[in-house]
Amino acid sequence: MTQSEETPPTLDARLPPEMAARAEAAGVAKAALDPLRLLALAVLAGAFIAFGAIFSTVVAADSAGTLPFGVARLLIGLSFSLGLVLVVVGGAELFTGDVLMVMAWAGGKLGLARMLKAWAIVYAGNLGGAVGTAILVFLAGHHEYGAGKIGLAALAIASTKSAEPFFQAMLLGVLGNVLVCMAVWACFAARSAADKVLVIVLPIAAFVAAGFEHSVANMYFLPMALLIHDFAGAGFWQQVAKLPTDYPALTAANALANLAAVTIGNLIGGGALVAGMYWFIYLRRA
C-alpha cells in the first residue's frame, strides 16, 4: 500500500462498537498481567484516588454556608475527578473500573476464576494504596491545616457515610459506579490524553456532587476520619471546638459495613448496568 492509500490519521472519537471490542480486549489483557505487577498498579490506583479525595476534602473545608449547596458540591466533584484522571492517564488498575472485565467474561474470552482473581488482587492493592496514603496524610498533620477545618471536613464526610443504612449505601454504590464506569467506558472512545481527561471530569464530578458512593474512595475517607477520631491530639479538638463523641457513627464496624455495601453496589452498577448492557448491545452473538 502506498502512502497515499494509507488511512489518514483522524481525531474522530471511536464509535461504540469499536469501544466495546477494545473494552473486551482490555479485560483479557488485565487478567493476563503478572500478579505482582497487577498488585503494584492497584496500589498506585488506590493512592491516586486518595489524592482526589484529599483534594476534594480541602475544597469541602468550610464550604457549608459559604457557598450555595449545589455550587459547593460541584467544586468538590470537579476536584475529586483528579483521582480517575491520574489512574487512566498515569496508568493504574482500579477495582471499580475493572468491573468492566465482565464484558470479556460474558463473551467467553475470560474465565470466571481468572476474573475474580484479578478483582481480588486489584481490590487488595487499592485498599493498601488508599489506607497507606491516609496514614501518611495523617502523620503529616494535614488534618490540622486551615485551623483544623480540613480535619473537620474529613470527619463530616466519613460520618455521613458511616451512618448510611446498608441498603441505602448499596444503592448509592450502584449509582456511583454507573457513572465511574461510564467515564472509563468513554475513555475507550478517546484518541489522546486530553480526550480522556475531558470525558472523565463530568461523570466523576456528577457522581460526587450527587452524593453517590465509590468503594475505593471510601478506602481513604473512612480510615482517614478514623485516624483523626482515634488519634488526633487534644490540641486539634480544642482548635475545632469538637469532641470525638460528637461523631458516634464513626466506628470501625460501621466503616466496614459501609465498604461492604458500597462494594456490592459498585459491582452491580458497573458489572450489570454498564458492562452487561454494552456487552448485550454490541458483543452478544446472535
pTM greater than the 0.85 cutoff: yes
Inside any domain, residue 70: yes
4 within some domain: no
Percent of the chain with pLDDT over 90: 93
| pLDDT, mean of residues 101-110 | 96
Task: Answer yes or no: is 8 within a domain.
Answer: no
How far is it, in rounded angstroms, from Cα 154 to Cα 222?
A: 9
- The pLDDT of residue 66 is 85
Q: Are 149 and 62 in contact (CB under 8 A)?
A: yes
Stretch 102-113: mean pLDDT, rounded? 96
CATH code of the domain containing 25? 1.20.1080.10
229 is a domain residue: yes
Predicted pLDDT of residue 5: 54
Distant-in-sequence, close-in-space partners of 6: CB < 8 Å, separation ≥ 6: none
Does a structural domain hold residue 111? yes
Residue 10 belongs to a domain: no
CA 119 remoteness from chain centre: 14
Is 85 part of any domain? Answer: yes
- Structural domain boundaries enclosing 213: 15-283
Counting the structural domains of the chain, the total is 1
Instruction: Give tens-digit pLDDT for 86-98.
Output: 999 999 999 999 9
With vertex at residue 56, the alpha carbon angle to CA 258 and CA 204, rounded to the nearest 5 degrees, is 75
Tens digits of per-residue pLDDT, 20-43? 999 999 999 999 999 999 999 999
pLDDT in tens, 176-223: 999 999 999 999 999 999 999 999 999 999 999 999 999 999 999 999
Confidence of residue 1 (pLDDT cuts 50, 70, 90): very low
The reply to whether 28 falls in a domain is yes
